[in-house]
Amino acid sequence: MPELPEVETIARGLARALADKTIANVDVRLPKVAIGNGVPFSRAVAGERISGVGRRGKFVVIELASGRSLVVHLRMTGRLIVRPRDAAPYPYTNVTFEFTDGTGLCFADVRQFGRVRIVEAGERWDAGVGIEPLSEAFTPEHLAALFARRTTRVKVLLLDQRRIAGIGNIYACEALWEAGIRPSLRAGKVTRAARSRLHAALRSVLTRAIEMRGSSVDDYVDADGLRGGYQNVLSVYGRAGEPCPRCGQPIVRTVIAQRGTWWCRACQK
């Protein structure tokens, strides 16, 4: 599933490509994917002008001039691909936005788990989404409050989208390794010094991943259909049996809360 760096990369690409375009038509091939508000999706958004594109957690937010938004969750295999005029059909496309200049935007998803929904102006659709880890509000003190007295394993807490938005398995593993914290440690047992390292590691890892346009370890491509580059510099994720970049001991893979977890037994005590 695309995580914060991948979704941010997609959103930035769409912001550049779709600014001020007007939707002429929407071809919905799989109705369950496009969620309206009691009105056929195509009719509801035809004529809308795109005023901006942003991100909230793992959601792409396409802002419309009317004040409404199109909120897209890519789930496991969803893709948002900008298409030039007269381009051939993109594989597994479930929804196609056609613009008045002849270009298009495809929402493709081979597994059909992704969704795009219309959000009305002022609707608090993200009330259950946690704090953005790259925001000014995400301070070491905020992280300490999230961890205080919790018996939840630290990696599980990092993946809880109600607490911190956008972090998934890849970047939780990478940040915990960078901070030298065992993924199975109870959150309330993380020391102040370790929390400080983790706070810095989360922001550093996410920022570096955005700079390299995300990690293409599975299906992820950006809005132009291009792969990211951060998978080439991952320290532990997916590297079971390989030497730890810090100490040389073998990286191990264990399972925490039904999620594969890569870490170093020597470095992450």
Residues designated catalytic: 2-3, 58, 259
Q: How many CA atoms lie within 13 A of 170 on its CB side?
A: 21
Count of other CB atoms within 10 angstroms of residue 70: 27
Three-state DSSP string of 109-130: ECCCCCEEEEECCCCCCCCCCC
At how many degrees (to 10) do helices 169-179 and 192-211 cross?
130
Taking the CA of residue 147 as centre, how many other CA atoms within 13 Å lie in the half-sphere pointing to its CB? 23
Q: Helix, strand or coil for residue 210?
A: helix
DSSP assignment, residue 86?
T
How far is the C-alpha of 161 from the C-alpha of 145, rounded, in Å?
16
Contacts of residue 119, Cβ cutoff 8 Å, sequence gap at least 6: 68, 69, 70, 71, 125
Give the phi and the psi of residue 233 in degrees, each rounded to 5: -125, 15
